Amino acid sequence: MKRPRIGGAVYILPNLLTAGNLFWGFWAINKALLGEFAWAGSALLLAAVFDVLDGRVARLTKGTSEFGVQFDSLCDLVSFGCAPAMIMYQFGLNAYGRIGWLICFLFMACGALRLARFNVQSAIGKASGDFTGLPIPMAAAVVATYVMFMSSLNLNDFGIDWLMQFAPYLKSPHAVSAPLLVAAPLLSLAMVSNVIYRSHKVLKIHGVKPFRVLAMAVFVIALIAFQPEAVGFLFAIVYALSGPMEWALGWKKPTEDDEIFSPEYDHSIESDDLPSAQPTEGPSQL
């Protein structure tokens, strides 16, 4: 069979957006090395936005290609695997010696495993619907929003007098980095686990009244305007905990993924059997 010719703006535009994802991931690493952690966290969130857009544009323009699929995964590993690991290390885990850099490596390695599993599941048609394991952009979002929140923390903004007595503790370098000693391994475990996380594709909002959606949107915007870093961190934490909570309550059962190691995997799958867009694990699929 004659293969379709790959080229033109239809295929270039999604890959340009993917390159934007890579750019902001590299920018986050650069800012982490300079100690500008609020900018580093913001760059990670921008990388997630570009990660969402490349899949959307590829779906709308029908510009999916195998090159784009592989390019997207490689960029995701840099932006959501290497960059968060570097940010955590520079943010304070470097003070813990070998334990610190091993934790950062664990996060990056589990992110790579997560992406590899997702790619194989997409190729064999097992990636539709909910996610198996915490998506790597959401794990990176937890790190980014936490670093942004702690970097911009100003207790005077909360208007709570009793909270001011904890100011010296909350401003201590070891105090702000110590939670990452626990959070990073847990995020790593969540990424490679078989726990189910919900995707936006399975959300049903047809029965919700438009006015209620509008009122909720206004409420969320007001919260974000009050404390954008704190609200962003709260949303990221809630999603990261949603999978284990649903599993503990019996709402979702873990899946099996043994088929991804099958030696009978057919590499000659037609392009029509692949997902309709570049596989994207970003916030757009919540």
How do the domains of the chain map onto residue ranges? 9-285
CATH 1.20.120.1760 for the 9-285 domain, yes or no: yes
pTM of the model: 0.79
What is the secondary structure of 89-104 as a DSSP string? HHHTGGGGTHHHHHHH
CB atoms within 10 A of CB 141: 27
Cα–Cα distance, 139 to 57 (Å, whole number): 24
Q: How sure is the predictor about 87, in pLDDT bands with cuts at 50, 70 and 90?
A: very high
Cα–Cα distance, 283 to 165 (Å, whole number): 36
Q: Over the stretch 168-214, which tens digit does the pLDDT of each residue have? A: 666 666 778 889 999 999 999 999 998 888 886 555 555 566 777 78
Q: Over the stretch 138-151, which tens digit does the pLDDT of each residue have? A: 999 999 999 998 88
Q: Is the pLDDT of residue 135 over 80?
A: yes
Q: Which parts of 193-279 fold into alpha helices (H)?
A: 210-226, 228-248
Q: How sure is the predictor about 70, in pLDDT bands with cuts at 50, 70 and 90?
A: confident
Q: Over the stretch 50-66, which tens digit does the pLDDT of each residue have? A: 998 887 887 787 767 78
Which of the 8 DSSP states describes residue 171? T
Give the model's pLDDT for residue 211.
Answer: 73
Percentage of the chain with pLDDT > 90? 38
Angle between helices 66-77 and 98-123 (to 10 degrees): 160
The 8 Å CB, 24+ separation contacts for 178-181 are 178/92, 179/146, 180/88, 180/91, 180/92, 180/93, 180/103, 180/143, 180/146, 181/93, 181/96, 181/99, 181/100, 181/103
Cα–Cα distance, 176 to 230 (Å, whole number): 14
Helix, coil or strand: residue 15: helix
Helix, coil or strand: residue 196: strand
Q: Over the stretch 203-233, which tens digit does the pLDDT of each residue have? A: 555 556 677 778 888 888 887 777 788 888 9
What are the distances in angstroms from CA 266 to CA 41, 125, 259?
A: 40, 12, 12
Q: Is the pLDDT of residue 282 over 90?
A: no
Close Cβ partners of 230 (under 8 Å, ≥ 6 residues apart): 149
Q: Is the pLDDT of residue 109 over 90?
A: yes
Q: How sure is the predictor about 271, in pLDDT bands with cuts at 50, 70 and 90?
A: very low
Give the model's pLDDT for residue 188.
Answer: 95
